[in-house]
Amino acid sequence: DTAVSQTPKYLVTQMGNDKSIKCEQNLGHDTMYWYKQDSKKFLKIMFSYNNKELIINETVPNRFSPKSPDKAHLNLHINSLELGDSAVYFCASSQLNKGLFFGSGTQLSVL
């Protein structure tokens, strides 16, 4: 059973399109995250939710909108995709300060 699963694994789309990435965790963790990893492999936090409540909202364009229907799910919707959005997006979950469990990533390519 995969602890943190995100779909799709690969997403290739045209500029201007809207797309969503889904994430689910079965670890019973209270906190979930979206991270962006750029081509230099630096991990940047985008959003963090604790028990469905948004607690971190870094400076990302408002074209990015997270949604947490319950504490096991955190989806990411992106409107009007731009070339610069191309990156790998990771979902993760954690419980308190005990370390993050990551999904396997979604490689987004905007053409």
Partner 1 sequence: TQLLEQSPQFLSIQEGENLTVYCNSSSVFSSLQWYRQEPGEGPVLLVTVVTGGEVKKLKRLTFQFGDARKDSSLHITAAQTGDTGLYLCAGAFRVDSNYQLIWGAGTKLIIKP
- Establish if 41 lies at the interface with partner 1 (CB under 8 A): yes
Contact call for residue 23 and partner 1 (CB under 8 A): no
Nearer to partner 1, 48 or 68 (CB): 48
Among residues 99, 111, 102, which one has the least CA distance to residue 34? Answer: 102
Three-state DSSP class for residue 103: coil
Taking a C-beta distance cutoff of 8 angstroms, is the pair 67, 77 a contact? yes
Q: Which is nearer to partner 1, 3 or 15 (CB)?
A: 3
Binding site for partner 1 (CB under 8 A): 4, 31, 40-45, 48, 50, 55-56, 90, 92, 94, 96-105
